[in-house]
Structure 1
Amino acid sequence: MKDLKGSTLPVFFGGPEPALIVSKSKNGDTVIGGFVGHIFKYFAKKHNAKLNTSHIDTLFSINEMNTLVLNGTIEILGSQLAVLQEKIDWSSLSYPYILMDWDALAKKHNITLLRSTIDFKHSPDELIELVRNDSVDISAAIVYPDIPPDGWTYPLEYINWCLLLPIEPSIPRYDIFLVVFRLETVIATIVFVVLLSILLEVSKLRAGKQTNLIGFIVNDNCLRGALGQSFTEVRNAPLRIRFIYLQICLLGIIITTSYNSYLQTYVTSPPTIAKINTFDDLLKSGIKIYSYRTEFEDLIKSDQRFAHEWFEMFMFEENFARYVIFRDKMDTKFAYTVNQIKWITIQEQQKIFTKPLFRQPKGMCFFDFFPVNFPIDENSIFMDVINFLILEIQSSGLQKHWQKWSFHELIDSGRIKLEDLSGKKVDFVPMKADHLRLIWIARPITLVGVIGLTEGDGGLIVCSSYGRNTISRIVCHCRN
């Protein structure tokens, strides 16, 4: 096994990115990348063997496809494959093209399809079947093993399989005034105002000063001070009352500064709507999980709730290649299922975005610490050699290095473009009348409520002032 003398390895390449990346060089040669591709390239180089890429050599790279589009050779590009120019009413075709049945379209209109290197992808079940029916010895794709793990190599890695969730949008501008203070803060403020009102009125009563019944509930001076407004003090007030006035001023400073600080922050960077932290939250939000049908069947085995109460939040794709391509489009209208290896690539891509498009909630994983292996014939002569190779590259750190480098390989192959998919950054949004809709609604309601409280049973409010100084006390009472 040390020298295979240039013989071809019975390996089939067909796994998804970024574990396996297939592209074309400038001279048209097939280039195998990704950490899975590097493992078998290293194996072939170490044992003087060749890799079989005949099922990929006839395909076009993404860069070649884009060139054909620019020079007018191709009429339409669907990422997975392209259509040569034909007399077809393209406006009648549904969008996105990526979800179309291209083979049926080609047969109907008698047109020629050009397939890209993305089209070589096969589902995990297909890759396993190629090994089990003795078509090849090894499938170059990381797959979740069966239990018991007969016919599998040593685990390459233990990964998590979790949900890829779009970032929640910001709340409407007119809701900012409601979320500045939480309900608990508002209740605590009201309690403090009432307590200070009671203390102030009791202190005035003990000091022989005039009081009124409403003041024991909400004192006018306490309310004004809490809102940061000026208010009058009792003349020749004892120390106890002055101390209460000081507490009112401190309360007003705390409330007004806190409110203004939060308001300015939220106007500049509005908070998002309630975060989705559970599958029940996701079901209520109406966001669909774009899922491959076979993977969904694995989910049912782990939790029967996916087949019943959570079934409505899934949207299924039967074709594995189309599923992978559409997921990589990063359409924020859907959620997706991704493993830890794919999530690392998405994190790297989002670093060039103005703001991230997706996140991965820790509490919404389907499988944790799950092994991934290569399907291999259990009687293959390469079993021990491959297992030793896996241990060798893991102990040397080569696998981690290749995983990090796969992001650059995706850029070189044209699969990822260094562009901001999150949209243009908005530095300033002018306030509009609609942003104050809750203020306009609350203003007349508050005014009517205040008039109703002060009016009593149809009585009139009569106020009289007395005192020789400019600042005098005002006493109000209701007279029918």
Structure 2
Amino acid sequence: MAWLLVFLLCLGQIGAQFPNISAPSEHRLQKSLLQLFLKLRQEKFYDILLVYGEDCVFHSLSRLLPVSTVLVTSGSTNFEWNFSSLSLILSCGFQAEMEENYRTLIKLQTNRRIIILQEDIQPENVCDFYSKKEQYNIAMVKENFDQHEVVYSCRFFQDPNYEEVTLFGEKPIFIEQFRNMQGAPIRTITDNLAPRSMVTQDPKTGEKKWIGFVANLLNNFGEKVNATMAMQVELAEVNGTVFFVNISKWTANDLLDIGMSIDTTWEMANFDTFTYPYLMCSYCFMVPLPDKVPYWDVFGMIIDIPVLAVLFVIFCIFSLLLIYIQQKSWRNLSLYSVLMNDMCLRGFLGQPFPFPRQSSKKLKLICLLLCFASLMVTTMYEAYLKSFLYSPPPEPMMHTFSDLEKSRYKLAMNWVEMEMLRFKDTHKLQKVSDDQIQMFEDYYQFVRLRESFDRNFIFPVNSIRWGTYNEQQKLFDHPIFYYSDDFCLSRYSILSFPIRRHLPYRDIFEEHILRQKEFGLLNHWIDHSFLDMLSLGLTPYTDFSDPEDGWAIDVDDLYWVWGLYGLALGISCVCFALEIMGSISFWSRLKTYRWRRATN
């Protein structure tokens, strides 16, 4: 209401501001234009006037209005427009606005424009002129506007392409023309990459249609604005394939309006050819699950070196305590007696040992602790052994690119993605040799290989596509790949729709994106992607996992057991032989035996 009062005061002061006007018609024209500006402000607020052209009635009016004014008499600015976007553009003539500043054109493309027409200029010609410049919010008034008070407003989707609106009528001067496009085509093309865009057939009409979390959004937008999706199939290759990078290039070159695809914006200097971010995801690797530890390694991996060191220290302590308590001195203490203590060896191995007679309370306590240690050691080892033999643990997973270099796997990459990521500049794969990377010239060959779950390769994949692979693995006997979050190409990728640079309904499309996401449709489509792929036959029911080898343990799996058993048996035999040979009675009996044979 405050602005209404200000405009009314301006109308009342025009006579006082210009008491000696020689042409009363100019006075009436200014009054009518002020009423027009009041109506425009009621329809949509504005706080800046941008006036193109040399001296005209708009210049004198700008001094009366309580808003800021920018005068561009040359027809083009020499600076980037950084003022408010709530600007009303006024042109002193049909071709007074000849803006050449690219950034200013982008920012002021959808702003409302009022143009003064000379008597010989037809409104339809003006509408055609501005439509070629992708500017559609155009209204015109003639120099005798004060007499008829008629505004000529461009209407792009009707014939004739303009409409006469009276100043005090109920019809709005400017309308959202692209809210109803009257069946106009939206030029697009799809890359047919599941699950974001998948071709199917409409059961009612028999025509092709596309579904997926990318295609569905575009289809809904077409229905919302009453437009049709015009597939530009002539841009596709001979075999009908389309690469998503080419779609972004075609939209940047104005060959498409909106691409039925999404692309990353990693190195974009600006977002003139991309929309508001549609979704965000990570771009990491799907890595084959590591093989299970072979049975012959299970027996050794149970024994951890730090635990074995602690057990050895406890064994030595028990052995020292037993020797001291039994003999009451350290005289007969030796390394041999500590390490080869019979009671400790039998106790730690869980075997019975002779309990000394007339033992003291201290000796009984040590023997009790030895029995408890024996119970703990043998029970834990047996529990781990049975558990690991039933289900061997997997080998260590990969966490860095250095682990990838040490593994047997190759990294499968498409050459276009390598060029996009510019690994040589970012040093993402600095520690991976060229022999470890296998390049694929054909992107779809790379996708087919990834869909076959070949366990000889590691594949880059975004988290959205991995969701469908993970669901597919639930059909397998056991999963064979996992998504690695430890080393990625990009942990935060922004995916957006490629659009034409001067798309006039960009704001409506971006509003549509936000609303679809706000109501949860994007998450619903992504969650339903795998079922859509199954119904369309894009995902087979084939089990790509290898069959289990079975639970049988071969003789070769026990070679560590047999080897340690043979080694221990050999050491025992050597010790027994040394013990016999070290006995004095043995040598005396041997000498007597030889003397008897010599005398006989």
Q: Is residue 2:228 matched to residue 1:50?
A: yes
Secondary structure of the residue that 1:306 maps to in structure 2? coil
Q: Which stretch shifts more, 195-204 or 296-305? A: 296-305
Match of 1:362 in 2: 485
The change in CA–CA distance for 1:210 and 1:183 in structure 2 (over 3 A counts) is closer
Counterpart position of 1:126: 246
Aligned counterpart in structure 2 of residue 420 of structure 1, from 536, 543, 546: 543
**Count of residues in Structure 1 that have an aligned counterpart in Structure 2:** 404
Contact 2:399/2:487 (8 A) holds in 1: yes
Equivalence for 2:261: 141
Mapped pair 1:39 → 2:217: yes
Residue matched to 1:5: 182
Structure 2 equivalent of residue 255 of structure 1: 377
Name the structure 2 match of 1:274: 396
Counterpart secondary structure, 1:35: coil
Listed one character per residue, the Cα deviations across residues 125-179 of structure 1 (whole Å, up to 9, x for unaligned) are: 2121111222212211111114223211000112110011000011222111111
Pairing of 1:179-218 with structure 2 (within 5 A): 179-206=301-328, 214-218=336-340
Q: CA–CA distance in 2 between the matches of 1:424 and 1:132? A: 50
CA–CA separation in structure 2 for the residues paired with 1:40 and 1:335: 33
Residues in 1 aligned to 2:504 and 2:292: alpha-carbon distance in whole angstroms: 58
State the alpha-carbon separation in 1 of the partners of residues 584 and 214 from structure 2: 87
Change (3 A) 1:166 1:225: same
Alignment of structure 1 residues 100-115 onto 2, 5 Å: none
1:223 and 2:345 equivalent?
Answer: yes
- Tell me, in whole angstroms, the C-alpha distance in 1 between the residues paired with 2:584 and 2:432: 64
Describe the SS at the equivalent of 1:13: coil
Partner residue of 2:196 out of 12, 15, 19? 19
Is 1:434 matched up with 2:551?
no
| Aligned partner of residue 52 in structure 1, secondary structure | strand
Structure 1 contact 204–211 (Cα < 8 Å) conserved: no
CA distance in 2, matches of 1:421, 1:438: 33
CA distance in 2, matches of 1:459, 1:183: 36
- Aligned counterparts of 2:268 and 2:489: Cα–Cα separation in 1: 17
**Mapped partners of 1:190, 1:179: distance in 2:** 17
User: Is 1:399–2:533 an aligned residue pair?
Assistant: no
Deviations 1:386-411 (A, max 9, x none): 21111111111111111111111100
| Preserved CA contact (<8 Å) 2:189 2:260 | yes
What secondary structure sits across from 1:19 in the alignment?
coil
Match of 1:30 in 2: 208
Residues 461 and 319 (structure 1), Cα distance of their counterparts in 2 relative to 1, 3 Å cut: farther
TM-score relative to the length of structure 2: 0.63
The correspondence for 1:234, drawn from 350, 356, 363, is: 356
**Which residue identity does 1:384 align to in structure 2?**
D
Unpaired segments of 5 or more residues in structure 1? Answer: 60-102, 104-114, 464-480
Q: Is the 1:279–1:310 contact (alpha carbons within 8 Å) kept by the matching residues of 2?
A: no
Distance in 2 between the 1:299 and 1:219 partners?
A: 66
RMSD: 2.9
Q: Hey, what does 1:328 align to over in structure 2?
A: 451
* Counterpart code for 2:505: F
- Structure 1 residues 208 and 345: alpha-carbon distance in aligned structure 2, compared to 1, 3 A threshold: closer
Percent sequence identity over aligned pairs: 24
Residue type of the alignment partner of 1:281: D
Q: CA deviation at 1:443?
A: 2.1
Counterpart Cα distance in 1 of 2:491 and 2:183: 41
Task: Between the two structures, name the one with larger relative contact order (CA 8 Å, sep ≥ 6).
Answer: 1
Matching residue's letter, 2:270: P
Q: Work out whether residues 184 and 227 of structure 2, in 8 Å CA contact, stay in contact via their aligned partners in 1.
A: yes
In terms of Rg, which structure is larger?
2
SS in 2 for 1:230: coil
Moved over 6 A (4+): 207-212
Deviates more, 1:299-308 or 1:358-367: 299-308
What's 1:93 paired with?
Answer: none
